[in-house]
Chain A
């Protein structure tokens, strides 16, 4: 079975541009989460989507947005890119909603998209 797939693997953008990152979850998984990992640090939570609805949002500006499609794949969009947005963006899928009561589930991560803003 295919794991979590992300595209593209690497991306270089200029300040002020817009970027779209894509994620396909493991087949049968209904939840997708996005994380930003700056070099030398642990991943920081951006969003969780479950059944196509936003179920959690981290402390990121409104320039960051996401959505989940009927096939449970997801896009992360970042507008007006800043140099500080350079990072590894990780997508994670899980069968159920992480953090929900009575749901013992775990997250499976993709390889990530390395975004460089110049």
Chain B
């Protein structure tokens, strides 16, 4: 079935370090791919998205490129801040008409000053 796999956390980085959170997916057809962020005690916020192969989504210094050949959508940021500490979820949608987003298990990022 369709699924999303993220690297296990927690990921602990120092401020200004480079961030990569790996995400791979299994899906039939051509899904859209998303990264959502969840700050403590809050709901999910859309961080970025890509709707077709080779698209690059970007927002707030974060980037991810839709790689169909490797079925991946890795999240990167060149210089993290303490305020980036949160849980990050990779997700896919658009497979069939069920209307559901399929999420990975989430990766906790902790950035230390």
| A interface residue numbers (CB < 8 A to B) | 4, 31, 33, 35, 40-45, 48, 50, 55-58, 90, 92, 97-101, 104, 106-112
Using C-beta atoms within 8 Å of the partner chain, give the interface range for chain B: 20 to 34
Which residue on B lies nearest to A46, using beta carbons? B100
B66 within 8 A of A: no
A97 touches B99 (CB 8 A): yes
Given contacts A99-B94, A104-B51, A106-B49, contact A43 B99 (CB under 8 A): no
B103 within 8 A of A: yes
Specify the main secondary structure of chain A where it touches its partner: loop
A-chain residues with CB within 8 Å of residue B93 when the two chains form the complex: 98-99, 107
CA distance A50 to B4 in the complex (A): 25
B24 within 8 A of A: no
Given contacts A56-B97, A99-B96, A99-B97, contact A107 B105 (CB under 8 A): no
| B interface residue numbers (CB < 8 A to A) | 4, 32, 34, 36, 42-46, 49, 51, 89, 91, 93-106
B103 touches A100 (CB 8 A): no
